[in-house]
Amino acid sequence: MARLGRDDWVAAALDAFERHGSAGVAVVPLAKALGVTRGSFYWHFDTRDELLAAALERWEREHSDAVLTAMDAVADPRERLRLLADRALSKPPTIFAQLLRGAEEPIVGAVLERSAQARTAAIAKAYRDCGLTAASARHRATVVYALYIGLAHLQPSARDRAGLTRELVALLVP
């Protein structure tokens, strides 16, 4: 049977995280799923936490940053905010929701922290571009990001999403 590389473990871990949350990233069950013993894992990684961190870093690179670059591409700040409201509600953000649910773990909390910083800054910039003062833009951005978190957590039904998007845009775009 083919031997494994670091990437195989990372892929399996991210998959498990999306489906079962951070508790799903466990050495023995993953080893079983990959058809090796636990000892194999510790050749590639020092600890289980290193695997989790590597999996979440991959997600950050490949998915999380995409939202920010998409926002960067839009010149009109109001349009930028609408794009965000749309993204927040268009598809269920399963990995992000799992991050929120697993925020107790420091590794997961750190990823959320980085994400919060970057996204809040981008949103605040959009509001400044709309003419709000720096302080007001910062508060508004915290509100918007809190909303983003809350909606990801609640995972509203598909039937509710259209109405919610309208509601959000009316509330948040000046």
174 forms part of the interface with a second copy (CB under 8 A): no
Q: Which stretch binds a second copy (CB under 8 A): 1-9, 46-54, 61-69, 140-148?
A: 140-148
In whole angstroms, give the CA distance from residue 132 to residue 143: 14
Give the contact letters, 64-83, x = binds to DNA (CB under 7 A), - = no.
--------------------
Binding-residue total with a second copy (CB under 8 A): 35
Q: Which does 140 bind (CB under 5 to 8 A by kind): DNA, a second copy, none?
A: a second copy
The DSSP line for 90-104 is HS--HHHHHHHHTTT
As measured in angstroms, the least distance from the Cβ of 99 to DNA is 18
In whole angstroms, give the CA distance from residue 21 to residue 100: 10
In whole angstroms, give the CA distance from residue 172 to residue 78: 9
Sole binder of a second copy in the list 16, 22, 25, 115 (CB under 8 A): 22
Task: List CB contacts of 114: < 8 A, sequence separation 6 or more.
Answer: 60
Sole binder of a second copy in the list 19, 37, 167, 174 (CB under 8 A): 167
As measured in angstroms, the least distance from the Cβ of 91 to a second copy is 17
135 forms part of the interface with a second copy (CB under 8 A): yes
Site residues for DNA, 19-48, by CB under 7 A, read: 26-29, 31, 35-44, 46-48
Task: List CB contacts of 88: < 8 A, sequence separation 6 or more.
Answer: 147, 148, 151, 152, 168
- Of 78, 80, 29, 81, which is closest to residue 51 (Cα–Cα)? 29
